[in-house]
Amino acid sequence: MSENFILVTGGAGFIGANFVLDWAALETDRVVVLDNFSYAGNLQNLSRLREGTDYHLVRGDIGDRALVKGLLAQYQPRAVVHFAAESHVDRSIVDPGEFVQTNVVGTFNLLHATLAYWRSLEGARRASFRFLQVSTDEVYGTLGPADPAFSETTPYAPNSPYAASKAAADHLVRAYFHTYGLPTLTTNCSNNYGPFQFPEKLIPLVILNALEGKPLPIYGDGLNVRDWLHVQDHCAAIRCVLQAGRLGETYNIGGNAERTNLQIVHEICATLDDLRPTPAPHAELITYVPDRPGHDRRYAIDARKIARELGWQPQVAAEAGLRRTVAWYLDNQAWVEGVRTGAYRAWIAQNYTARGTP
What predicted TM-score, i.e. pTM, was given to this entire model? Answer: 0.93
Q: What is the pLDDT of residue 255?
A: 97
SS3 content of the chain, % helix, strand, coil (to 5): 50, 15, 35
Q: What is the pLDDT of residue 343?
A: 54
Angle formed at CA 152 by CA 174 and CA 197, multiple of 5 degrees: 85
Q: What is the pLDDT of residue 353?
A: 55
Q: What is the pLDDT of residue 89?
A: 72
> Which residues, listed in sequence order, are joined to residue 79 by a DSSP beta bridge?
130
Give catalytic residue positions.
Answer: 137-138, 162
User: May I ask the CATH architecture of the domain 5-193+230-256+296-315?
Assistant: 3-Layer(aba) Sandwich (3.40)
Q: What is the pLDDT of residue 247?
A: 98
In this prediction, the residues of the chain whose per-residue pLDDT falls under 50 are: 1-2, 342, 344, 347-348, 352, 355, 358
Which runs of consecutive H residues, i.e. helices, occur in the chain? 14-26, 65-75, 89-94, 96-99, 107-120, 123-128, 161-180, 202-211, 231-244, 261-275, 304-310, 318-331, 333-339, 342-352
Q: Mention every residue, 6+ apart, whose C-beta is less than 8 A from residue 341.
A: none
Q: What is the pLDDT of residue 92?
A: 80
Q: What is the pLDDT of residue 90?
A: 75
CA distances (Å), origin 271, targets 265, 282, 307, 330: 10, 9, 31, 11
Q: What is the pLDDT of residue 358?
A: 44
